[in-house]
Amino acid sequence: MTRVKICGITEFEDARDAALLGADAIGLNFYPSSPRYIEPARAAKIVEKLPPFVTIVGIFVNHPDPQNLEDFALSLGLHAVQLHGHETPDYCSMIQRVKVIKTFRVDRNFRVDTLRSYGSGTFLLDGCTPGAGQTFNWELAFGANAFGSIIIAGGLNPENVGEVVGALHPFAVDVASGVESKPGKKDYEKMRRFIEAVQRADVAVMGAL
């Protein structure tokens, strides 16, 4: 079954609602330039109140020190770090105590075999401008599943997420702006419809097998 991550959470109420609606993971954005940036102290309070069985992912961009990043993630209780910068395979391999999700921006120059150099891992494929709500050409992601667990992001919403689940059979889908009323503020009904659309698509995929 396709997992769902609701990203760019800035308020506990939204994190709680996402979990109650069936989201498998939430994303907390620690990139200061993002409109969904969250202060570590505020993030810690959200993490503390979340129920068990919800994976908590921190979003980072070109953090200069992987060991410091790992320590920060552990201090907050994050389960994984999602890296959106130019982090190399060596950089990623230095993070051992939390899971690593390496993000790639998919444009016409993207090749799925680029993932091979990062070893067997978890990869997030995003649009060229993360957080802008823009999809990418999903055909460019065909074959990516051979290299690890694939998360599809970029312009997903309740109307199109079922299509990408049916086309690519990803490990997970990731949404931020597609379930928001404004940057950082989630819309309950949009989250509900998004998760239900993923569930319907999973049933359709299973029925076609």
**Cβ neighbours of residue 77 under 8 Å, at least 6 residues apart?**
44, 47, 48, 56
Q: Catalytic: 126?
A: yes
Instruction: Return the DSSP state at 144.
Output: G
190-195 own/partner pairs: CB under 8 Å, 24+ apart: 190/157, 190/158, 191/6, 191/17, 191/18, 191/21, 191/23, 192/21, 193/158, 194/4, 194/156, 194/157, 194/158, 194/161, 195/4, 195/21, 195/22, 195/23
The pair of structure tokens assigned to 173 is: 């889908």
CB atoms within 10 A of CB 120: 9
Of 118, 178, 106, 107, the C-alpha closest to 147 is 118
The pair of structure tokens assigned to 80 is: 């994984």
Strands 121-126 and 99-105, bridge-based pairing: parallel
**Chain CA centroid to CA 108, Å:** 22
**Rounded Cα–Cα distance for residues 169 and 50 (Å):** 28
Q: Which of 7, 14, 17, 174 is catalytic?
A: 7
Q: Which of 14, 17, 126, 174 is catalytic?
A: 126
The pair of structure tokens assigned to 87 is: 């982090």
Q: Catalytic: 24?
A: no
Catalytically active residues are 7, 126
